[in-house]
Amino acid sequence: MIIEKENTNYWQNELIKGLTLEGITDKNFFDFMKGKIKKLPLNVDDFGWGVFPIISQDGVLNDIRMVVPVIYNVKSLCVNIHEYVHAYEMYFDLGKIYKWHIKESEQKACEAEKRYLLTLDNRPKL
């Protein structure tokens, strides 16, 4: 698979658009995640992408890791938006006893993807 390097800025801007829709604009969050995100140049369907809590022995959420695909199309962008929503939610639980709210988190992350996709429908066609 070839990733179009020249489109990197385009996809980065789209990611920011998608995250902004979700209210994810906090610079502190992005600073916190620096160096904690692994981007793999793989097909979206070929890997189990996700956000991974780092939990201490007494159950406290200490840190966050994220594995996402390099963005090369809308699908891989949506995976990134999805996982960022999970990470952002987890960010607020740092220092607390960690509980994974699977159902609510999944719903929230999936809705974020849909919201972004709707903006594509509403854009003027080139």
Closest residue to Zn ion, judged by C-beta, is 109
Is 109 a binding residue for Zn ion by CB under 5 A? The answer is yes
- Provide the minimum distance between the beta carbon of 13 and Zn ion in the complex, in angstroms, as a whole number: 23
* Identity of the residue, 26 or 106, whose beta carbon is nearer to Zn ion in the bound complex: 106
* Identity of the residue, 46 or 106, whose beta carbon is nearer to Zn ion in the bound complex: 106
* Identity of the residue, 24 or 109, whose beta carbon is nearer to Zn ion in the bound complex: 109
* Identity of the residue, 12 or 107, whose beta carbon is nearer to Zn ion in the bound complex: 107
Closest CA to 99 of 62, 64, 65, 61: 61
Residue type, 90: M
Separation between Cα atoms, residue 61 and residue 46, nearest integer Å: 28
Is 51 a binding residue for Zn ion by CB under 5 A? The answer is no
- Provide the minimum distance between the beta carbon of 40 and Zn ion in the complex, in angstroms, as a whole number: 17
Contacts with Zn ion, residue ranges (CB under 5 A) = 106, 109
